[in-house]
Amino acid sequence: MTSMLSDWAREFLRGDHVAVVSTLNRDGSSHLTTMWYLLTDDGTLVMSTPSRNQKVKNLRRDPRIAVCVGDAARSVSLYGRVSISEDQALVRQDLEHLVERYVKDEGIRPQVSAALVQQSRVALRFTPEKVTEFSV
């Protein structure tokens, strides 16, 4: 495990993937879900989700998070503690960047962003404390 993202991991994480996010339920079991994410230049992972989702409830209780991004032959797993922000200016900014990354049709991006902003959302951010990389 390393605490810094390698150039390979940065390039891979900037590819066309979604993340599998793991949080801890109250009973200690894993809660898994897929999410859009964005890797910033400083190595922070940015995500956004409705504030009522189970993962947000879990993260408010226990901020530990694990994220895995992979394909058939490679993966990067990241571990750390997430910060949750309800600042709607930040939420909107993050959503715009996520929509730009994942919605390929530029013509519908404004509608997608508007629909997502209408949800009561939070911004999730974390800088990985540990990273594992796998490649065949």
pLDDT digits (tens, 9 = 90+) for 81-93: 999 999 999 999 9
pLDDT at res. 5: 94
Domain positions in the chain: 7-135
Place of tokens 């949080």: 23
Q: Is the pLDDT of residue 3 over 60?
A: no
pLDDT tens per residue across span 21-37: 999 999 999 999 999 99
Position 106 scores a pLDDT of 96
Strands (E), 9-136: 19-24, 30-35, 38-39, 45-50, 64-70, 74-81, 83-85, 121-126, 130-135
Which overall architecture, per CATH, does domain 7-135 show?
Roll (2.30)
Q: What is the pLDDT of residues 73-126, one digit of tens each?
A: 999 999 999 999 999 999 999 999 999 999 999 999 999 999 999 999 999 999
DSSP state of 2: B
Which residues make beta-bridge pairs with 134? 75
Of 27, 37, 108, 120, which Cα lies nearest the Cα of 78?
A: 37
- Is the pTM higher than 0.95? The answer reads no
Per-residue pLDDT at 2 exceeds 80: no
Paired with 46 in beta bridges are 38, 125
pLDDT at 1: 46
The token duo for 117 is: 């902003």
Nearest to 112 by CA among 50, 24, 5, 104: 104
- pLDDT bucket at 4, cuts 50 / 70 / 90: confident
